[in-house]
Amino acid sequence: MSADGEAILEVRDLVKHYPLTQGILFKKQVGAVRAVDGVSFDLRRGETLGIVGESGCGKSTVAKLLVNLERPTAGEIRYKGEDITRLSGRALKAVRRNIQMVFQDPYTSLNPRMTVGDIIGEPYEIHPEVAPKGSRRQKVRELLDVVGLNPEYINRYPHQFSGGQRQRIGIARGLALRPEVIVADEPVSALDVSVQAQVVNLLERLQNEFALSYVFIAHDLSVVRHISDRVAVMYLGRLAEIGTDTQIYEHPTHPYTQALLSAVPVPDPGARERRERILLAGDVPSPADPPSGCRFRTRCWKAREKCARVVPPLEVPEWFKEGARPAAHPSACHFAEERSVVPPEEE
Ligand SMILES: Nc1ncnc2c1ncn2[C@@H]1O[C@H](COP(=O)(O)OP(=O)(O)OP(=O)(O)O)[C@@H](O)[C@H]1O
Ligand code: SF4
Ligand SMILES: [Mg+2]
């Protein structure tokens, strides 16, 4: 894994608004849910970018936009330099092949009436050029083997597998077309903790084996730390902060990240006692009516007058630039400052 490579995906000012309508016969738009509202980041070749944030902050919407299950309201997604949001027909199909998704819930994302062989091989129906008909069963057997399942299970049905095994089936399906990018939307959130580590390890092994780049989405910062090279923290449709795992976990500068980190369980009792817990006031505001200026201001203990007036840009704050401080990474806060909330991880 390397976090210094060229960008394979460049996301710029991505916006997805869902219209809010009123009336049954004559639908009138009365507003919009601003699910994603100006998100920019790069995914570098071979890296894992973690995206974390509370429920409803727009993570799955970003995932769907990246794999083209949804069309953005505005903004660009450049894949190897080309804006894929404007593609259609054959060009879109070719790009889609290279950016695949692994879904959260291994219980509902697999069709219960299809055999595992048909589920994993289904992408070949749309892309027969990847595996001609006669070779498909063999390819599916190989994929089962690659994800650690017995190839003899090819004729079984999803209900005959455990949650972890079903997620392996979902991953095999995601790999079928030999993509370059995998967007995994909470791939382990529905699994028992003991199984989560196995699936994360499998994803790491596959990344090396197939030179994959990952966007790994989770609501929990502790899950993301182990697998990510870089982490982006999302709040109410925007990014609060983005940086390497060390920058985000050891030198967080955005109050929202600091609050999230202060709630992450710490195994060491001594460290647990030393660290301070930041409790956030109030609930997440509605994405249909987000606060002006900084979206986090209604829950931020540092909010001042400027925060309501000016949207904080996602930039490296000037005061961290000098002397290459470890906290020098983009943070969307007018008053970004370091505050260590989690003791360094013991190696
Ligand atoms: N098709 C849709 N129509 C209207 N609103 C939607 C639609 N899809 C998502 N939303 C809204 O957009 C916002 C972001 O949703 P999204 O599913 O992206 O959040 P999330 O971060 O993935 O949350 P979770 O952690 O619960 O999965 C939410 O307020 C959601 O209700
Ligand atoms: S810009 Fe203001 S409200 Fe927003 S996180 Fe920073 S201090 Fe808090
Ligand atoms: Mg989601």
The pLDDT assigned to 3 comes to 47
Exposure of 155 in the CB half-sphere (CA atoms within 13 A): 1
Q: Across-strand partners of 127?
A: none
Per cent of the chain over pLDDT 90 is 72
The pLDDT assigned to 319 comes to 86
| Paired sense of beta strands 48-52 and 230-235, if any | parallel
Closest-CA residue to 216 (of 208, 204, 205): 204
The pLDDT assigned to 165 comes to 93
CA angle 207, 208, 209 (to 5 degrees): 95
Which of 14, 60, 73 has most ligand 1 atoms within 8 Å of CB, for mutation? 60
- Residue nearest (by alpha carbon) to ligand 1 atom 14: 58
Q: Which atom from ligand 1 is nearest to the alpha carbon of 64?
A: 18
pLDDT band, residue 2 (cuts 50/70/90): very low
**Which residues fall within 8 angstroms of residue 88, CB to CB, at 6 or more apart?**
none
Write down the pTM of the prediction. 0.93
Query: Which protein residues have a CB closer than 5 Å to ligand 3 (ion)?
Result: 59-60
Separation of alpha carbons 82 and 78, rounded Å:
5
Closest-CA residue to 84 (of 176, 150, 14, 151): 14
Q: Which atom from ligand 2 is nearest to the alpha carbon of 302?
A: 7
- Residue nearest (by alpha carbon) to ligand 2 atom 3: 297
Q: Is the pLDDT of residue 1 over 60?
A: no
Q: How far is the CA of 18 from the centre of ligand 1 (A)?
A: 9
pLDDT band, residue 343 (cuts 50/70/90): low
| Average pLDDT over all residues of the chain | 91
The pLDDT assigned to 341 comes to 77
Separation of alpha carbons 347 and 336, rounded Å:
28
Condensed to tens digits (0 to 9), the pLDDT of residues 300-319 reads 999 999 999 999 999 999 88
Q: How far is the CA of 16 from the centre of ligand 3 (A)?
A: 14
**Residue that wins the pLDDT comparison between 347 and 33:** 33
Check if 78 has its Cβ closer than 6 Å to any atom of ligand 2.
no
Q: Which atom from ligand 1 is nearest to the alpha carbon of 287?
A: 29
Amino acid identity, residue 255? P
Tokens 């360094």, located at residue: 344
Which of 15, 17, 22, 59 has most ligand 1 atoms within 8 Å of CB, for mutation? 59
Per domain, the residue ranges of the chain are 253-347
Q: Across-strand partners of 99?
A: 181
The pLDDT assigned to 107 comes to 73
Condensed to tens digits (0 to 9), the pLDDT of residues 237-276 reads 999 999 999 999 999 999 999 999 988 877 777 777 777 7
The pLDDT assigned to 51 comes to 97
CA distances from 335 to 90, 183, 253, 329, 332 (A): 47, 32, 9, 14, 9
Separation of alpha carbons 271 and 61, rounded Å:
36
Check if 333 has its Cβ closer than 6 Å to any atom of ligand 2.
yes
* Closest-approaching ligand to the CA atom of 185: 3
State phi, psi for 267 to the nearest 5 degrees. Answer: -65, -35
Condensed to tens digits (0 to 9), the pLDDT of residues 154-188 reads 999 999 999 999 999 999 999 999 999 999 999 99
- Residue nearest (by alpha carbon) to ligand 1 atom 7: 18
Task: Kindly state the DSSP code that residue 233 receives in the 8-state scheme.
Answer: E
